[in-house]
Structure 1
Amino acid sequence: MEAEPWILPEQDELSMTLHNSAVTMNSEEEFYDAETGLESGDDLSDVSFKDALVNDCKDSSNAIRPQDNGVWERRKTLPAPMISRSDYSVWGILKKCVGMDLSKITMPIVFNEPLSFLQRMSEYMQHTHLIHKACTLSDSIDRMQVVAAFAVSSVASQLDRTGKPFNPLLGETYELTREDEGYRFITEQVSHHPPISAFHAQSLKQEFEFHGSIHPKLKFWGKSVEAEPKGTMTLELLKHKEAYTWTNPFCCVHNIIMGKLWIEQYGTVEIENHHTGDRCVLNFKPCGLFGKELHKVEGHIQDKSKKKRRVLYGKWTECMYSVDPKMYEASKNKGDAKIKTQQQCAGEETEGGPEVQETVAVIPGSALLWRIAPRPPDSEQMYNFTRFTMTLNELEPGMERLLAPTDCRLRPDIRAMENGDLDTAHVEKDRLEEKQRVGRKERSNAEEEWLTRWFQLGSNHHTGAQDWLYKGKYFDRNYTNCPNIY
């Protein structure tokens, strides 16, 4: 059975599901290779979702139509609100698991959110505009500080997320193409035990590549759950021939037994520019005894001669700033930093959402690197999703015939939960789990190994460490050898 999260009956807030962590799957869960649903003669390599959208809108009177300018209007809410968790208690299970890896714990599906962990990984791309910005800058230190802001922003959507994503099935995939943001993204569940998810994003204009793999581990310590990040992020700015690598911070969810749940990210994140030797060290600060350091991030950028060039500060929940080291030290001595409400960043949506309110004391002379966009007004009722997240499981008209048959959007348990049908979601989840157990036994009896489709194990060209690397050709849309996992 798939592992689930843990929430007390009186509590409605638990962000157990993080970009850098997910509850692991039971070792019995695997799938066998099978035939795809596509006809062998189909050639979809030159077909786009946009083409399918136009054709389906012409052919079906019930199809959702695009905007007048031909651009697909993505949804701004989910089909059904978040399912109540108030009638469920999990302490009876968790009290026996102190100090254990939570990969074998089975919890009710009600504590999930209607997304696969693969879809959660695509939330790294929510602030892709920062990568585009870094590509335009001529100075390596300027590029590094924007890349650092991107690394911090990638965990921002975790705030107040109360459910865990569905554990990906072995061979499951997710693709995301955003022509408006200039990239496409593909991820695959490449290993079941241990659970490993690999991803690869690339610019549509050959400006950057962003890739990595995630192997999450969670432990329960009685009053808190700690997520240990495993896996390296690699961002390549192709024009500048630069590669940046880093790992994600630790995350801890507190007050599991009683009280209001809250999250802290902590630990040191080091970002290295393998071309120039520049390095950024970010300290995600622990909360501290009186909570004064909660959510704070501070660090600095140094060049290859180890000279400190910029100081970075802010909160991973709000914003990041950059300032000259001398001004930082002077301000620290004088205490003249002030908290002030900033104007919205260009390009960020504000319609229907609250104004941005910062709690960061801004040092005079600082430059704003990034600010989080406000969430939609009904976000609390929608699993605390951001505007970006609301769209991740959406099926555009005509999309089904172009997606790989392993894509998350085709998972019946996730689709049923998104529609508010918890009973069907539970039945489908059980069916899929049993199917993968059967597949694992069949492969074991036949002494066959699982073969990944889109990624292969290799060596990271920049760190030399073992990593899962994209093999390419997913977007040729030849799904002949895709497994039948649903």
Structure 2
Amino acid sequence: MSDHLPPSDGRRYRSRLPREHILGDDFNMWSVLKGGIGKELTKVPMPVSFNEPLSFLQRMAELMEYSELLQLAAGQEDSVSRMELVAAFAVSGLACNWGRTAKPFNPLLGETYELERNGFRMVCEQVSHHPPVSAFHAEGDQYQFHGSVHPKLKFLGRSLEISPRGTLAVELPGHEETYTWSNVNCYVHNVVVGKLWVEQQGTMTITNHKTGDTCTLVFKSSSSSKSSHRVEGFIQDRKKTRHRFLYGKWTEYLRSMDIESYENNLSLSEQRLGSSQETERRAGLSPIHGPRKMFSRLNSITTAPFRSHSDRELNVEHDSPDDPSAEGALSRSSSGHSLGSAGSRTLWQAEPPPVDAHKYYHFTRFAMSLNELLPDMELCRTDSRLRPDIRALESGDTEKAGAEKARLEDKQRRAGKARSKRKQAWTPRYFQLCKSADTNIEDWTYMNNFWEEKNTTDVDIF
């Protein structure tokens, strides 16, 4: 582990962008997407009006917003408690997607992004252009987090499907453990007509390769406002014995319940529901809920009854994010029920969004700071913060952003053709392909050279 990690700084970062997000009159998503139904859109050029002022490398850095969960995980004595917190970290990395319907800029080949914040440091690099692959490595005092993402974007007719292919891994050296998982698909709905909204959907399986423990989380499809954003699943050991039930909303929180409490609550809920259904039957009414719907209600409860010691350690804000505080703001939740459940505790709760987040691409406070240029920064010349197209869009100059985006893409094409004539392949500077000892899959591995060499590169991509 590095001896030069940044301290937990008390620096105040900006809480809004230089200019608000204003859609121009030329914004017409259908005009771009109508010819791509069922096709992979990663290579399709998009107008800058589709973008948010961040590179995809910076979006990957948002996975570290709740990095303190990994520090807490490293301090736990038993593997189930460590799995709880690693699972909470995995879910927390998706919370930033709520309300985010604009597309990050595609990184240029060789582009990098570095971040030093709150006891960790992170480096990202665009290691491949065809196919586009982004690799990253982050480290804190007691953990490492690394992986690569090969995003696929497909237009399904009424929605966009974003598939973040790739494996993410957390290492806890103090326990000699490695955890791996892949993120679930993200869907942007109503891209042609209606109000855009985002959901995560699919199954995420987190594996502890030392103990054989797994955590399988199902991200539910949103069939109604009450079921939106739901995630739930179990932690079990290599013998398939269940140890914890996890549930929550990927936009807001994740909670844990021991199996005995889970069974007791389920039994009590079924008894109450059975009594209610009998009353309805006698009254000639039809039951509207099945006997195992209790935990769909659990995912709609308010957070107050479940604050635990974990919340105090994480300094979690408990102001409810359910009520929009400004006109145009989206509601993260449709919380309308309060249902007691003994034995439940909060593992993670999202920070409330800025009150005017809807004016700034629905960025979180963490995201607002990722493209901020500070006077004391000594950045690698290929850092995303130095991209003129992103900087122009952030400042509200869409015309300049579009022109710079076109210039950079043309420069990248010409550089690729020149390498092709020389029969020279692109070689990433900070990551190399290696086979993982845990998954036996070839992936991009950090070469531990960025921080020493970042100021020596002569690569010119901007």
Query: Structure 2-normalised TM-score?
Result: 0.85
* 2:133 is equivalent to residue 168 of structure 1: no
* 2:69 is equivalent to residue 104 of structure 1: no
Aligned to 2:388: 412
Aligned to 2:320: 355
Measure how far apart 1:266 and its partner are: 1.3
Structure 1: how far apart are the matches of 2:134 and 2:458? 17
SS at 2:205's partner residue?
strand
What CA RMSD, in Å, does the superposition of the two structures yield over aligned residues? Answer: 2.3
Structure 1: how far apart are the matches of 2:4 and 2:72? 30
Measure how far apart 1:371 and its partner are: 0.8
Residues 159-187 of structure 1 deviation map (CA, whole Å, 9 limit, x = unaligned): 00131111000000000001xx2100000
Aligned partner letter, 2:179 = Y
Q: How many residues align?
A: 414
Measure how far apart 1:115 and its partner are: 0.5
Are 1:251 and 1:266, in contact at CA under 8 Å, matched by a contact in 2?
yes
Structure 1: how far apart are the matches of 2:195 and 2:363? 20
Measure how far apart 1:292 and its partner are: 4.7
Structure 2: how far apart are the matches of 1:372 and 1:77? 18
Structure 2: how far apart are the matches of 1:312 and 1:194? 35
Measure how far apart 1:341 and its partner are: 4.0
Are 1:453 and 1:482, in contact at CA under 8 Å, matched by a contact in 2?
no
Aligned to 1:309: 243
Could you tell which deviates more after superposition, 113-122 or 412-421?
412-421
Matches within 5 A, 1:375-454: 375-399=353-377, 402-454=378-430
Match of 1:183 among 105, 111, 120: 120
Residues 173-225 of structure 1 deviation map (CA, whole Å, 9 limit, x = unaligned): 000001xx21000000000000000000011x2x1110000001111111111
Measure how far apart 1:71 and its partner are: 4.9
SS at 2:170's partner residue?
strand
Measure how far apart 1:229 and its partner are: 2.6
Residues 292-330 of structure 1 deviation map (CA, whole Å, 9 limit, x = unaligned): 532111100111221111111111011111111232133
Are 1:459 and 1:467, in contact at CA under 8 Å, matched by a contact in 2?
yes
SS at 2:401's partner residue?
helix
Residues 3-22 of structure 1 deviation map (CA, whole Å, 9 limit, x = unaligned): xxxxxxxxxxxxxxxxxxxx
Structure 1: how far apart are the matches of 2:190 and 2:31? 16
Could you tell which deviates more after superposition, 410-419 or 104-113?
104-113
Match of 1:372 among 346, 350, 354: 350
Match of 1:74 among 1, 9, 13: 13
SS at 1:275's partner residue?
coil
Could you tell which deviates more after superposition, 208-217 or 87-96?
87-96
Are 1:404 and 1:482, in contact at CA under 8 Å, matched by a contact in 2?
no
Are 2:101 and 2:188, in contact at CA under 8 Å, matched by a contact in 1?
no
Structure 2: how far apart are the matches of 1:311 and 1:167? 38
Residues 328-356 of structure 1 deviation map (CA, whole Å, 9 limit, x = unaligned): 13322322766234288435575xx9634
SS at 1:257's partner residue?
coil
Aligned partner letter, 2:161 = E
Structure 2: how far apart are the matches of 1:303 and 1:233? 21
Residues 338-388 of structure 1 deviation map (CA, whole Å, 9 limit, x = unaligned): 6234288435575xx963446385622201111111011121111111111
Measure how far apart 1:425 and its partner are: 1.2
* 2:89 is equivalent to residue 150 of structure 1: yes
Aligned to 1:216: 151
Aligned to 1:472: 448
Measure how far apart 1:287 and its partner are: 2.1
Aligned partner letter, 2:256 = S
Are 1:161 and 1:384, in contact at CA under 8 Å, matched by a contact in 2?
yes
Matches within 5 A, 1:111-260: 111-178=50-117, 181-203=118-140, 205=141, 207-260=142-195
Structure 2: how far apart are the matches of 1:369 and 1:240? 20
Are 2:100 and 2:198, in contact at CA under 8 Å, matched by a contact in 1?
no
SS at 2:221's partner residue?
coil
Query: Structure 1-normalised TM-score?
Result: 0.81
Structure 1: how far apart are the matches of 2:81 and 2:4? 38
Unpaired segments ≥5 residues, structure 2? 273-296, 323-332
Matches within 5 A, 1:224-303: 224-288=159-223, 290=224, 292-303=226-237
Structure 1: how far apart are the matches of 2:4 and 2:149? 31
Aligned partner letter, 2:370 = L
Measure how far apart 1:424 and its partner are: 1.6
Aligned partner letter, 2:57 = L
Are 1:46 and 1:476, in contact at CA under 8 Å, matched by a contact in 2?
no
Structure ranking higher on relative contact order (CA contacts 8 Å, 6+ apart): 1
Structure 1: how far apart are the matches of 2:19 and 2:316? 23
Percent identity (aligned) = 48
Matches within 5 A, 1:40-59: none
Query: 1:275/1:225 Cα in 2 relative to 1: closer, same or farther (>3 Å)?
Result: same
Aligned partner letter, 1:116 = S
Structure 2: how far apart are the matches of 1:191 and 1:462? 23
Aligned to 1:340: 302
Structure 1: how far apart are the matches of 2:446 and 2:249? 33
Are 2:164 and 2:183, in contact at CA under 8 Å, matched by a contact in 1?
yes
Aligned partner letter, 1:469 = T
Structure 2: how far apart are the matches of 1:46 and 1:277? 31
Aligned partner letter, 1:310 = R
Aligned partner letter, 2:132 = P
SS at 2:165's partner residue?
coil
SS at 1:215's partner residue?
strand
